Structure 1
Amino acid sequence: MRSDAVTDMGADALAAADARSTHRRGLTLALLTLTYFFSYMDRQILAILQELIKADLKLSDTQLGLLSGLAFAVFYATLGIPVARLADRFNRRNIIAVSLAVWSLMTALGGLAQNFAQLLAARIGVGIGEAGSSPPSHSIIADLYPPEERAGAMGIYSLGVVLGAAIGTFLGGTIASFYGWRVAMFAIGLPGVALAVIVYLFVVEPRRGMADRRTDAGRGAMPSLVDGFRAMAISAPAFHLVMAVTLTSMIGYGLTAWGPSYMQRSLGLRMLDISLIVSPIGAVVGTLSAVGGGRLADWLARNRGLHAQPWMVAALKTAALPFTLGFFIFDEPVAALLCYFLYVLLANSYLGPTFALIQGLAPVRLRALWAAITLLIINLVGLGLGPTLVGVISDVLKPSLGTESLRWSMCLFAAATPWAIWHYWRAGVLLRRAP
């Protein structure tokens, strides 16, 4: 069934369908956030397990970087485009449910891997499944929430990143400490299959353009793929937002993928310490950042205009930069971790406002495609190159720096932050000039 079929209804039926979608939008947002949580948890489970997997399968840092970076990102990002075209035409809820079941099963299968090639194939399968999650989710959220509430909704959705990484580290590290990394992958992956059934039963499929008060968004010819790329390419604010979020993600993915290994190698923490102490605190701090940042962005949109949102992100990232560098520079664990938590608190609010702004700039019938294009760039560069290059540079520096090679490899990536800050500032300037 095509998801734009509601546009053929009469006025009364259309109003009833919109009322139902609005009534259930809180539940839908919660389930989409939980799906994103599982997505990120399954994606990042390798981070806390890397040292165990490295020893068991005798892998190099470069191979570990490929598993968590480029090999996953290539399939995740490129398949997002055809999935987004389906999502702009057909039922988005169904696409999300099927994708969730696929990547959850592939995560569990990774626990059976006996060598690098088998684990690589499983991680590619996770990437293929996860390609069907975020673009349709972004599109649904944009249709459920109006522009002045969209950043807050996207901020809640972005909790999937914060909580997925933190709770994945907590559960994965704790289970692996007692039962091994293979059991941890089974335990993290299999519950997602049950969630897929719940998503199918309870997530609402809203009318296209509902929150923008459009009644004609589902009518007319579907814009072509070329039209979608062209429309995004000529939008200067969208260009700077995509550049900013890509650079930010490259740094963030590098830190997330290698943070637990760095804490073990350079700060002397045990895997169980990271699982039981660092990750829960990180989850609380990250939640405050994502939700608080989204609320602040909505307030700024109502009182100062949408252009204030990227300026907010730029200001918070500027304040966070010294703490980012401090995390890698300080040798004393307490000081380093304090810097880490302050960095998360200040810098982790960028996803909600960024994706909300991009969805607001996108034509209504191209929202899933614009989200997929954004994620294509973010993940090929950010997720693909971030963890992979951190691993490669760490191997290059290892002969001279030993176990400290990872510390300085990650520090080099943090130094790219001012470039991202400039793009956020420029996006605000262009949005302020827009009519």
Structure 2
Amino acid sequence: MSVDAAGRAGNAGSSRAYRNFVVWFLALIYTMNFLDRQIVSILGKQISHELHLTKTEFGFLGGTTFALLYTTCGIAVAYLADRANRAWIIAFACAVWSLFTALCGTAQTFAQILLFRMGVGFGEAGGSPPSYSLISDYFPAQDRGKGLAIYSLGVPLGSMIGAFAGGKIAVAYGWRSAFFAVAAPGIVLAVLMLLVVREPKRGGLDVVIDGAAHPPPPSLGVAVAGFFANRTLVLTAISSGLSAFVGYAGLVWNPQFLENVKQMSEADVATWYALVLGVTGVIGTYGAGWLVDRLGQKDRRWFAWVPAVAFALSIPFWIGVLWAPTWQLAILFIAGPALLNNMYLAPALTVAQNAVPPARRTITGAILLFVLNLVGLGVGPVYVGRIADAMEAEHGANALAYGYAALLPVIGLTILAHIAASYSISRDRRLAAILPG
């Protein structure tokens, strides 16, 4: 077991300031990525009214169709990114998803906006997996959780900005203008990405196991088979998928739940929900990365225990959301899941990036996202929407509350999945060499 000395020297040649600049710049791009992905949930009431969508159709629009393109294309893009310049791929992807976000504002039918959302998913497939790999070559193993947590701040920040800016623009100018406005910054960031982010040496900061150098990138079939033969990765993917199931269901439906069930105005959603989403999400996402970098050095199982504990603590908050008599109280209870249900992502990404050799990182991240988004984004919103549609005839606007109540058993399964992952993490040979806790 050794370290790639030449690579360490090359990657260490990047100053701490530049390393931090890169990860924060990537986090900014991810913020726009997630903003473009999630803004449809903020605009859902206006879109559904104008295009005459059922809750099931909106669930497909907000989750399933996007997830199908995002997950399947992500694996192909990741295979390329393990062999090509990752910064260029991220820049191209950013330009593509921004263009299709703008096109969503031109849609006249459900079929058109569905097609454009699929285009957004295609573009965003090239964003996160190459970014995970790039960050892992700028941050050594003991700091990787922090680096990936900073990047993951794009989730709550994108959600917050989307809820605030998208909501305010939609109230003032309509939902189409909101799509145009949030798409424009992505084109600028795509150009800047080409100019300011350098491609580091792959694996330059990593321990070499069983050899004098890191192995080369495997074929796509070998990489996929290797992922599903690795118990740690499979259990991490399952637990992350269930976590995302709950998280995305809330992200897609919270605005309409607050408006229809708790009688919160669109303007108040744009202000107060956005604020809660951003502040709590940042604390939960960064806090999880900070915690696992420290606790994981003592016991690697904390990479799974942290999200397990967080989801257990979220249960009473979900119950409070359902029973809150006013939107003001409901928004306070939503702060709990918004913080706690974000605490799985940074630990899962850190495990996945450390559990494989450097040449497999991008494809491994893509497969993890495939499972996470197919289960979470692809099924979670539709699950809640289908239950709400089934209950609508009898319960009217309160039907969404029954969809939310049906998330509680899923949370129980999520906790069990994280506990199962902890046992595999503690026995993983590569993780033991890199994270000897």
Runs of 4 or more, structure 1, over 6 Å off, are 215-219
Change (3 A) 1:414 1:157: farther
| Structure 1, unaligned runs of 5 or more | 1-6
| Structure 2, unaligned runs of 5 or more | 430-437
Aligned residue pairs total 425
Give the residue type in structure 1 aligned to 2:76.
P
Give the residue type in structure 2 aligned to 1:317.
F
Residue aligning to 1:297: 292
Distance in 2, Cα, partners of 1:241 & 1:331? 37
- Listed as ranges, the matches of 1:8-407 within 5 Å are 15-16=9-10, 18-20=12-14, 24-213=18-207, 221-302=216-297, 304-407=298-401
> Is the 8 Å Cα contact of residues 25 and 204 (structure 1) preserved in structure 2?
no
The worse-fitting range, judged by mean Cα deviation, of 265-274 and 230-239 is: 230-239
Question: Which of 410, 430, 433 does residue 427 from structure 2 map onto?
Answer: 433
Give the residue type in structure 1 aligned to 2:324.
F
Q: What per-residue deviation string (whole Å, max 9, x for no partner) do you get for residues 243-288 of structure 1?
A: 1110010111111001100000000001110111221132112111
Give the residue type in structure 2 aligned to 1:430.
S
Give the residue type in structure 1 aligned to 2:413.
W
> Is the 8 Å Cα contact of residues 243 and 341 (structure 2) preserved in structure 1?
no
Give the residue type in structure 1 aligned to 2:279.
V
What is the CA-CA distance between 1:343 and the residue it aligns to? 2.2
Distance in 2, Cα, partners of 1:433 & 1:14? 27
Distance in 2, Cα, partners of 1:220 & 1:210? 13
3-state secondary structure, aligned to 2:83: coil
Give the residue type in structure 1 aligned to 2:238.
M
Distance in 2, Cα, partners of 1:21 & 1:87? 24
- The percentage of counterpart residues that share the same residue type is 37
Change (3 A) 1:100 1:21: farther
3-state secondary structure, aligned to 2:133: helix
What is the CA-CA distance between 1:48 and the residue it aligns to? 1.0
The worse-fitting range, judged by mean Cα deviation, of 67-76 and 335-344 is: 335-344
Q: With the length of structure 1 as denominator, give the TM-score of the two structures.
A: 0.93
Change (3 A) 1:410 1:339: same
Distance in 1, Cα, partners of 2:168 & 2:46? 13
Give the residue type in structure 2 aligned to 1:277.
W
Q: With the length of structure 2 as denominator, give the TM-score of the two structures.
A: 0.93
3-state secondary structure, aligned to 1:398: helix
Distance in 1, Cα, partners of 2:15 & 2:111? 45
Q: What per-residue deviation string (whole Å, max 9, x for no partner) do you get for residues 358-382 of structure 1?
A: 1111222111111111111111121
What is the CA-CA distance between 1:333 and the residue it aligns to? 2.0
Change (3 A) 1:337 1:313: same
Give the residue type in structure 1 aligned to 2:55.
D
> Is the 8 Å Cα contact of residues 8 and 205 (structure 2) preserved in structure 1?
no
3-state secondary structure, aligned to 2:296: helix
Distance in 1, Cα, partners of 2:177 & 2:212? 47
Give RMSD over aligned pairs: 2.0
Q: What per-residue deviation string (whole Å, max 9, x for no partner) do you get for residues 162-185 of structure 1?
A: 111111010000011111111111
Residue aligning to 1:4: none
Distance in 1, Cα, partners of 2:33 & 2:247? 16
> Is the 8 Å Cα contact of residues 18 and 207 (structure 1) preserved in structure 2?
no
> Is the 8 Å Cα contact of residues 203 and 214 (structure 2) preserved in structure 1?
no
What is the CA-CA distance between 1:406 and the residue it aligns to? 1.2
